[in-house]
Amino acid sequence: MAKRDRMSGNEAVSYAIRQINPDVMPAFPITPSTEIPQMVSTYIANGQMDTEFIPVESEHSSMSATIGAEAAGARSLTATSSAGLALMWEELLLAASNRMPLALALVNRTLSGPININCDHTDGMGARDTGWIQIYSENNQEAYDNFVQAYPIAEHKDVHLPIMICQDGFITSHAVENIELLEDEEVKNFVGEYEPEEFLLNVGKPIAVGPYSVSNYAMEARKNQEIAMENARDVILEVAKEFEKLSGRKYGFFEEYRMEDADYVMVIIGSAAGTAKQAVDDLRAQGKKVGVLKLRVFRPFPAKEIAEALKNAKAVAIMDRCESYNANGGPLGMEVIAGLFRNKVMVETVNYIYGLAGRDFTVTDVYDIFGQLEDLVENGTEIEQFQYIGLRK
């Protein structure tokens, strides 16, 4: 039976971790994810879980220890943000290439410089090509639900890849919302026990983890990673179906909000989707045919499905909460536009940059963006690409 409570996003993820009760959690504190290891260590100290908590000297060490524990056969995880993820960079690639199905609670925060501790997606998007599955959360409920689904996805025999469960720093991580929690036994049964086929401490069956790979083998290993990421697509949807049976909450690659007849659509990730939905409701009341496509799964990227969802739109705003410094837009913009082109969906697109380092993104901003899309289609007005929304002149 579901339990209703009020929790911050960090509390919700920590509660999910307690219910899953993984074997090992190495961690090093960094704002705004510090509360997660803090809360988990409190659960351990209070005897509410028996996870082995390992305090380490840096985020590089926390991911190294997580990989080591996973390789030994233990279900493992860590948490971090921003520069912490950047310090793990080498280890992120090793976790994926060694096919370690560990989990990372990523509380999104901008990367320096200039130094800033507020939310954008610079950290997660910077790691988009490291071989990790990436799932983003709009609110605290999704942060909890996504983490409960993390291990069944990552540990699936056809996947065996590490997974990042992402939420927006401070906006969801520290804000308190109403939330519906599953019973401990329900989560335990849903996630199940971790029973790896190969692991270092499997007596009598020695293996090597992370050996040097000569050119004759390295490329094949990379291809196997790519195949696993492709396999993750079906597994994510299968796990979501089972989760819906348990919780009544439905998940997929993305959420389509008032998209049934939308001429103008905003594609967006994370907490700002709530702002966009409110603006859509307001504009719908005025007779405007607008909608939101909120992306949940960024890796593997659901290009074909997004193209299908957008094929009837007249114009699409693609919202990036980070800058890729390629002078050609943000990572979400590039991925969506490439997906539309490859699937032969010809629709007008405008890529916007918003919310960098915590800059406010308001309902009025969304009104203005939809107004620009309408002006583009109805009047042929050329719209500036890669606008920084809310930029001071």
Average pLDDT over residues 144-154: 98
Reported as a single tens digit per residue, the pLDDT across 333-342 is 999 999 999 9
pLDDT (0 to 100) of residue 17:
98
When the pLDDT of each residue in the chain is averaged and rounded to a whole number, the result is: 97
pLDDT (0 to 100) of residue 36:
98
Closest CA to 166 of 117, 123, 215: 123
Among all chains, which residue has been given the structure tokens 């007008």? 348
Return the sign of the alpha-carbon dihedral for residues 111, 141, 336, 377.
negative
Return the sign of the alpha-carbon dihedral for residues 134, 140, 145, 150.
positive
60, 218, 281 from 117: Cα distances, Å: 19, 38, 32
- Cα separation, 313 vs 265, whole angstroms: 7
Q: Which residues pair with 387 in a beta bridge?
A: 352
pLDDT band at 143 (very low <50, low <70, confident <90, very high): very high
pLDDT band at 236 (very low <50, low <70, confident <90, very high): very high
Average pLDDT over residues 248-255: 98
pLDDT band at 223 (very low <50, low <70, confident <90, very high): very high
Average pLDDT over residues 123-147: 98
Determine contact, residues 133/185, Cβ cutoff 8 Å: no
Average pLDDT over residues 151-156: 98
- 35-58 burial by CB neighbour count: b if 16+ within 10 A, else e? bbbebbbebbeeeebebebbebee
Reported as a single tens digit per residue, the pLDDT across 344-390 is 999 999 999 999 999 999 999 999 999 999 999 999 999 999 999 99
pLDDT (0 to 100) of residue 99:
97
pLDDT band at 393 (very low <50, low <70, confident <90, very high): confident
**pTM score of the predicted model:** 0.97
Average pLDDT over residues 303-323: 98
Q: Which two tokens stand for residue 243?
A: 């989760």
Q: At CB < 8 A and 24+ separation, what contacts does 223-227 make?
A: 225/96, 225/97, 225/99, 225/131, 225/161
Query: Is pLDDT above 80 for 126?
Result: yes
Average pLDDT over residues 249-261: 98
Instruction: Name residue 5's amino acid.
Output: D
Query: Is pLDDT above 80 for 1?
Result: no
Report angle CA 157, 76, 104 to the nearest 5 degrees: 90
Query: Is pLDDT above 80 for 292?
Result: yes
Average pLDDT over residues 146-175: 98
Share above pLDDT 90 across residues of the chain, in percent, rounded to a whole number: 97
Closest CA to 382 of 348, 342, 346: 348
Average pLDDT over residues 283-289: 98
Query: Is pLDDT above 70 for 267?
Result: yes
pLDDT band at 113 (very low <50, low <70, confident <90, very high): confident
pLDDT (0 to 100) of residue 2:
83
Share above pLDDT 70 across residues of the chain, in percent, rounded to a whole number: 100
